[in-house]
A and B are shown apart, each in its own frame.
Chain A
């Protein structure tokens, strides 16, 4: 079963990074309008992404049923939130265009193993959700602050480079 999971992960990873259609996903997420101008079928890509998600959900259902052996129509309720949290921990941006499958996999591993790790560390399982929440918020906020700082630094560097250019051209006596 673990092999099966890894195989699914690898298949999706290869599809997203190595095939032409897979690369559309990043493009559409990054800049939908630009993708349209490039001739990428944006709506079709979005549709396919939902189909892939549903197929993966059904695979998860197969695993769930074969492991638990007991089914109710509402089993799996609330998994969507955990899945979103796993993706976010794995470094996938909710606004689209950033992230990869490997990150999501590790995010899911972290999300799933938090409760086990806490038990091994001697915490009561009552603090499970608290620590998950704190972890999620901390990671996301830290990531946002880092990104903001990086963007700011890049902007400063660009500005510095430009002013240098201007100074040089003035020293040379030419027009800008």
Chain B
């Protein structure tokens, strides 16, 4: 009976991540009972919502075998564009958000174009892109007459209040946006023809090319998605903090990549799920929040996340290594033989 159940129950990385989140909540809840208050627990999402949103869409880039280091600087660019357009050019804030979204997509498309059409390593181009867009953000911030380090604030009430909205008194609007975006990404990647093409590009680009897929366009589009997610994160961040600064998101690059890799997406491409990335981002966020709530200093928060990442990557590589798995199987069989004798 048990065996039947086990064989039906296919182990998936997502289950482990859900288990890990529950374990985290349990452990931190035991250490600090305030942690379990739904208001606090869901409120903590505000701190890492941008990581979650970007990680979900950056998963696309990783599946095609690329890497995106520029999302963090696009967050700052979107934020400052909204601020400058609203303050200095007196554009309606919603129109400003839309313009920022378009600009972010164009930024993603520019990098994606170079990556797809000139065959340069994505890492270099997006690194250059991260310099370029963070520089552009500073340049844009100079177009307004406020100092860059002060940021632009004083947004209208309806713009800043939508991220402070809480459904049923606990669930912030950002979480719902995040869930909605995850659902959209899930449908795009796992339920459409386009998603299958993305996977095939990552598994074997040449095969994809021969089967009539325009791989260049597919790869370009993944970077557009990533830039779009960064724009969403920038809009939410601007709205939540009530001010726009050009250096928002400059420290997000590494956490996002950590989240995507922890979510079971292969850096080499061809493997990964949207749900895994989303859950992994939540795992990292809750771990950082829980540790800091239990009095761990801010400087040490990277240590557990780093250890987790290295262990996960090493373990997943080990489990895929044929020699090692063969060794374990042989070992187990010997043990079974010894037991049966």
**B120 pairs with A144, CB closer than 8 A:** yes
Residue on B nearest A85 in the bound complex, by CB: B127
Given A126-B138, A130-B135, check contact A140 B120 (CB 8 Å): yes
> In this assembly, does A129 line the interface, its C-beta being within 8 Å of a C-beta of chain B?
yes
CB distance from B38 to the nearest CB of A (A): 33
**A81 pairs with B128, CB closer than 8 A:** no
CB distance from B296 to the nearest CB of A (A): 14
**B118 pairs with A131, CB closer than 8 A:** no
Q: Tell me the complex Cα distance, A145–B117, Å.
A: 10
Count of A-B contacts with CB under 8 A? 79
A residues in contact with B128, CB < 8 Å: 85, 132-137, 140
Name A140's contact: one of B125, B133, B136, B138 (CB within 8 Å). Answer: B125
Name A129's contact: one of B118, B119, B135, B148 (CB within 8 Å). Answer: B135
Name A88's contact: one of B69, B124, B129 (CB within 8 Å). Answer: B124
Given A94-B121, A140-B120, A141-B118, check contact A84 B135 (CB 8 Å): no
Residue on A nearest B299 in the bound complex, by CB: A73
> In this assembly, does A19 line the interface, its C-beta being within 8 Å of a C-beta of chain B?
no
> In this assembly, does A66 line the interface, its C-beta being within 8 Å of a C-beta of chain B?
no
How many residues of B are counted as interface, with CB atoms below 8 angstroms from the partner's CB atoms? 24
> In this assembly, does B123 line the interface, its C-beta being within 8 Å of a C-beta of chain A?
yes
B residues in contact with A140, CB < 8 Å: 120, 124-125, 128
**B118 pairs with A85, CB closer than 8 A:** no
Of the listed residues A94, A130, A145, the one surrounded by the most CB atoms of chain B closer than 10 A to its CB is A130
Interface residues of A in 65-117 (CB under 8 A from B): 73-74, 81, 84-85, 88, 94-95
Chain A 39-82 near chain B by CB (<8 Å), digits 1 or 0 = 00000000000000000000000000000000001100000010
**B299 pairs with A126, CB closer than 8 A:** no
A residues in contact with B129, CB < 8 Å: 133, 137
> In this assembly, does B325 line the interface, its C-beta being within 8 Å of a C-beta of chain A?
no
- Please classify the interface of chain A as helix (H, G, I), strand (E, B), loop, or mixed, using the class held by over half of its residues: helix
> In this assembly, does B142 line the interface, its C-beta being within 8 Å of a C-beta of chain A?
yes
> In this assembly, does A127 line the interface, its C-beta being within 8 Å of a C-beta of chain B?
yes
> In this assembly, does B114 line the interface, its C-beta being within 8 Å of a C-beta of chain A?
yes
CB distance from A138 to the nearest CB of B (A): 8
CB distance from B337 to the nearest CB of A (A): 33
Of the listed residues A94, A131, A133, the one surrounded by the most CB atoms of chain B closer than 10 A to its CB is A133
> In this assembly, does A148 line the interface, its C-beta being within 8 Å of a C-beta of chain B?
yes
**B135 pairs with A136, CB closer than 8 A:** no
CB distance from A47 to the nearest CB of B (A): 14
Given A81-B69, A126-B142, check contact A136 B131 (CB 8 Å): yes
**A127 pairs with B135, CB closer than 8 A:** yes
Q: Tell me the complex Cα distance, A31–B123, Å.
A: 21
> In this assembly, does B226 line the interface, its C-beta being within 8 Å of a C-beta of chain A?
no
**B135 pairs with A94, CB closer than 8 A:** no
Q: Tell me the complex Cα distance, A127–B142, Å.
A: 10
B residues in contact with A94, CB < 8 Å: 121, 123-124
Q: Tell me the complex Cα distance, A73–B300, Å.
A: 10
Interface residues of B in 83-136 (CB under 8 A from A): 114, 118-121, 123-125, 127-136
Given A133-B132, A133-B133, check contact A84 B127 (CB 8 Å): yes
Q: Tell me the complex Cα distance, A94–B118, Å.
A: 15
A residues in contact with B134, CB < 8 Å: 129, 133
Q: Tell me the complex Cα distance, A8–B191, Å.
A: 55
Binding site for B on A (CB under 8 A): 73-74, 81, 84-85, 88, 94-95, 124, 126-137, 140-141, 143-145, 148
| With A73-B299, A81-B69, A129-B138 already in contact, 6 other A-B pairs whose C-beta atoms are closer than 8 Å | A129-B134, A130-B135, A130-B138, A140-B125, A141-B125, A144-B119
Q: What are 24 A-B pairs at a CB distance below 8 A? A: A74-B299, A81-B69, A84-B123, A84-B124, A85-B127, A85-B128, A88-B127, A94-B123, A95-B121, A126-B135, A126-B139, A126-B148, A128-B135, A129-B132, A130-B138, A131-B135, A132-B131, A133-B130, A134-B128, A137-B114, A137-B125, A140-B120, A140-B125, A148-B119
6 interchain residue pairs of minimum CB distance: A133-B132, A129-B135, A130-B135, A133-B131, A136-B128, A137-B128
